[in-house]
């Protein structure tokens, strides 16, 4: 029987600096929204943020706001507001929570940052459908509500190998965004500036990868739960020097932990991989539960999704098109399975947790036999958790706890 123990959660020292740069980011957006001194673009989380930054826009990411609504456990109460507008409880609960919060005039930013009244007002909405259609529908609702221009990139889905044809098609759509964005921003596009921003994004991505890769050490210096918090700058500040500086700091701390043999979870006995969306409102509870079972959930496809290895400042449009199409969520099942197998080997895990997120079929990879096929390939056991990224009504805490405890017991039996 796996024994529960008193949990000591190791604090990451760099957290203070991360909070500082995130606060700076939100206050800068808020100031621009109030004064009109800078133009603001809203962008999907894996959208072409580099083009926007190069044209002088400050960039707000509604998915980040959706995740904040989830992490603060505000989301569940917001969702019915969007349902009343015709947006089903079965579709993306980032969308429904975010739209619902807008309708109610509520934002977690107001609670976290004194003086901020809500999300910054956009001058343009830019999406990329590489992850799902929901982001386009989400932005389309705001375009109508706020009477703001909307534009974006329609990406291929279910991609096996990323070919030259995929890259050309996405790159040309990205280039076509430039003239209307120039007009909205009031700035002339400068290729050298785009190259500079892409170079910073590439550095951010490489450092974030190095941070996440430290989890391959035994014991792992970080958990998936740490990753979901510390990915903030990679999502909202990629393309800036602040994000690069931050990941240098975080990487140094992880390397220090490795040098001292210090694991994120005390007495790490079992190592797990997380596949699917985080359950934002249960990060802390699940982190404590796994730690109490001497189990480290240490890596995930989710946190890896902000690694864009293909970025090349010398070929910015084509390399962005490649990086944003190579993403896991864009790919076919065989390509995803190859990727997950590589990750399971690299991180030396004992098993896999699949999160079947009720409102995100796009990033729930356990509905078409993938866990069973990966188990056949690797012999690693898996557990599927039913839940949701934001809608806490979709989660049975008791059932989840019982299933996780039974899974860890199964791991213990396999080791003995």
Residue number with CB closer to ligand SF4 (224 or 407): 224
Using the Cα atoms of residue 210, residue 325, residue 67 and residue 146 in order, give the sign of their dihedral: positive
Give 135 or 395: the residue with its C-beta nearer to ligand SF4. Answer: 135
HEC string for 63-83:
HHHHHHHHHCCCHHHHHHHHH
User: Taking the complex as a whole, how short is the minimal distance between the CB of residue 324 and ligand SF4, in angstroms?
Assistant: 14
Go through the chain and tell me how many residues it has.
416
- Residue 305 lies near ligand SF4 (rule: CB under 6 A): no
Candidate list 59, 92, 321, 383; residue touching ligand SF4; CB under 6 A: 92
d(CA 216, CA 147): 48
Contact 117/110 with Cβ under 8 angstroms? yes
Query: Rounded to the nearest whole angstrom, what is the least distance from the CB of residue 312 to ligand SF4 in the complex?
Result: 26
Choose which of 134, 326, 350, 391 interacts with ligand SF4 (CB under 6 A). Answer: 134
How far CA 409 is from CA of 82, 224, 293, in Å, comes to 41, 21, 9
Nearest to 59 by CA among 77, 75, 46, 69: 46
Whole-angstrom CA distances from 264 to 18, 207, 298 are 18, 19, 9
The pairing of strands 150-153 and 40-43 is unpaired
360 binds ligand SF4 (CB under 6 A): yes
Closest CB 277 distance from ligand SF4, rounded Å: 6
* Residues 40-79 interacting with ligand SF4 (rule: CB under 6 A): 63
Binding ligand SF4 (rule: CB under 6 A), the pick from 301, 305, 363, 384 is: 363
- β-partners of residue 128 are 153
Please choose, out of 25-33, 46-54, 132-140, 208-216, the segment that lies near ligand SF4 by the rule CB under 6 A: 132-140
234 binds ligand SF4 (CB under 6 A): no
* From candidates 54, 96, 128, 131, binder to ligand SF4 by CB under 6 A: 131
| Residue 363 DSSP label | G
128 near ligand SF4 (CB under 6 A): no
The site for ligand SF4, by CB under 6 A, has a size of: 12
CB-nearer residue toward ligand SF4: 54 or 301: 301
Rule CB under 6 A: is residue 327 a binding residue for ligand SF4? no
Q: Which stretch binds ligand SF4 (CB under 6 A): 127-135, 161-169, 237-245, 286-294?
A: 127-135
362 binds ligand SF4 (CB under 6 A): yes
- What would the two tokens of residue 99 be? 């739209």
Nearest CA among 232, 195, 227 for reference residue 24 = 232
| Ranges within 251-280 binding ligand SF4 (CB under 6 A) | 277
Q: At 107, list the tokens.
A: 């934002």
Among the listed residues 218, 210, 228, the one whose alpha carbon sits nearest the alpha carbon of residue 296:
218
Helix spans in 93-240 (H): 93-104, 108-112, 134-146, 164-185, 191-213, 224-230, 232-236
Task: Please check whether residue 217 is in contact with residue 177, taking contact to mean a CB–CB distance below 8 angstroms.
Answer: no
For residue 389, state whether it binds ligand SF4 (rule: CB under 6 A): yes
- CA 120, CA 139: separation in Å to the nearest integer? 14
Is residue 300 at the binding interface for ligand SF4, with CB under 6 A as the rule?
no
Compare residues 119 and 265 and give the one whose CB is closer to ligand SF4.
Answer: 119
Site string for ligand SF4, 2-41 (x = CB under 6 A): ----------------------------------------
The residue among 135 and 411 lying less far from ligand SF4, judged by its C-beta, is 135
Told to check if 306 binds ligand SF4 by CB under 6 A, we report no
Q: Please identify, using beta-carbon distances, which residue of 29 and 92 lies nearer to ligand SF4.
A: 92
- 94 contributes a contact to ligand SF4 by CB under 6 A: yes
Q: CA 89 to CA 209: how far, in whole Å?
A: 34
Q: Which residues bind ligand SF4 (CB under 6 A)?
A: 63, 92, 94, 131-132, 134-135, 277, 360, 362-363, 389
């Amino acid at each position: 029987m796996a024994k529960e123990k008193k949990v000591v959660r190791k604090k990451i020292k760099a957290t203070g600096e991360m909070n500082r740069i995130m606060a700076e980011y939100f206050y800068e957006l808020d100031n621009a929204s109030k004064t009109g001194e800078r133009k603001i673009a809203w962008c999907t989380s894996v959208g072409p943020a580099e083009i926007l930054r190069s044209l002088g826009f400050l960039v707000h990411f509604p998915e980040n706001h959706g995740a904040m609504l989830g992490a603060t456990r505000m989301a569940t109460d917001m969702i019915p507001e969007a349902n009343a507008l015709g947006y089903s409880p079965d579709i993306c609960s980032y969308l429904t929570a975010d739209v619902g919060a807008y309708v109610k005039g509520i934002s977690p930013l107001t609670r976290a940052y004194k003086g901020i009244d809500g999300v910054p007002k956009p001058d343009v909405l830019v999406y990329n459908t590489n992850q799902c259609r929901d982001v386009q529908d989400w932005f389309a609702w705001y375009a109508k509500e706020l009477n703001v221009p909307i534009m974006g990139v329609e990406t291929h889905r279910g991609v096996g190998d990323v070919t030259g044809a995929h890259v050309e098609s996405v790159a040309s759509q990205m280039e076509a965004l430039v003239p209307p964005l120039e007009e909205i921003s009031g700035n002339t596009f400068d290729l050298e500036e785009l190259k500079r921003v892409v170079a910073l994004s590439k550095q951010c991505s490489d450092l974030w990868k190095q941070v996440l890769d430290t989890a391959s050490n035994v014991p792992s210096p970080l958990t998936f739960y740490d990753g979901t918090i510390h990915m903030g700058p990679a999502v909202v500040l990629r393309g800036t020097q602040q994000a690069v500086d931050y990941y240098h700091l975080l990487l140094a701390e992880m390397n220090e932990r490795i040098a001292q043999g210090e694991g994120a979870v005390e007495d790490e006995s079992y190592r797990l991989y997380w596949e699917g969306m985080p359950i934002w409102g249960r990060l802390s509870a699940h982190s404590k539960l796994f730690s109490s079972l001497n189990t480290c959930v240490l890596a995930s496809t989710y946190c890896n999704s902000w690694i864009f290895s293909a970025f090349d400042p010398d070929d910015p449009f084509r390399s962005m098109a490649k990086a944003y199409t190579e993403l896991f969520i864009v790919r076919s099942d065989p390509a995803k399975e190859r990727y997950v197998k590589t990750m399971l080997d690299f991180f030396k895990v004992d098993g896999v947790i699949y999160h079947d997120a009720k409102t995100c079929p796009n990033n729930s990879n356990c509905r078409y036999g993938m866990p069973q096929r990966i188990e056949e390939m690797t012999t690693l056991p898996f557990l599927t958790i039913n839940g949701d990224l934001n809608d806490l009504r979709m989660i049975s805490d008791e059932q989840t706890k019982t299933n996780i405890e039974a899974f860890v017991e199964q791991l213990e039996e396999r080791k003995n």
